[in-house]
Structure 1
């Protein structure tokens, strides 16, 4: 059986966050020497650190929060598409997508080359491709950058278009060494009540 490939960003003290957002931290609140039996840790982080999902509530006051999301939407057959040669993901990259019989598309942009620093520019998603994705049964879109929209966008057209067509969003994937093609994919959010997003452990397995 093919092994699962981890395509998640490791969480550590130096992981870059959105400017001004909560930094990641982890510490042991109980040491084994103190408790007599176990180590117990605690962590603090933004819900949009590293590899994560966006719930619609993140950008829509009336959108669903994490606990209301359909968990099956975050697993399925996925097509990894090479988008490393463009500065905007456009519809031509989706030519013949219907022949792959997938419910997820993951765009390998390679535009976040140094993950020790938050990027200044990224390859974003052209919101006009979203109806085409929906027409082909796509339920999830993933990217290897912190956002599906330009980092300085206030209107977030791709976020809103994906929400309108009920397509889930996963951001911050690590696709550097992944060969474009079809895989089994999983990136399950934590059951966080009231949350606008969630970290995920995203994995792929060759089919």
Structure 2
């Protein structure tokens, strides 16, 4: 047992001789977490645990929510898919792309215009059922629903059946995405 009633993870010492502690949920760890090192299916957290047990409801309360707000398709006025889109099991891989068109967006209105344009290109020029990606990150760091969770995207040949595709709006061959966008990508990937 170590400080704050946390149990030390079995046989682990992180970098800088930092010991991991057992917590109940990976989203309660500000740092990185590892499975299979704690009794009762807990998660080993190398970082700062960020949850507490609410004694009145016996539920875990988290002070930090890593999951970003996702703008639904209806809000950016997406068209319906041209055909039925296959369901996929929980994703094994995440592929990060850029829309590769040189245009970006900074608001719900301008991102809606960009996404509808990309959706039209994918549906009418590529003959795909819908926009290619599961999620798209606008220039303002906002996340937009593409085909969404548990639906097969059209982003990475031969990998779409077991992966999620996330795209940054714009072309980033010569420049990096803004600082607003990068934490959002990490949080989407952590959610998966």
TM over 0.5: no
Instruction: Pick the structure with greater CA Rg.
Output: 2
Point out the structure with the larger helix share: 2
TM-score normalised by structure 2 residue count: 0.30
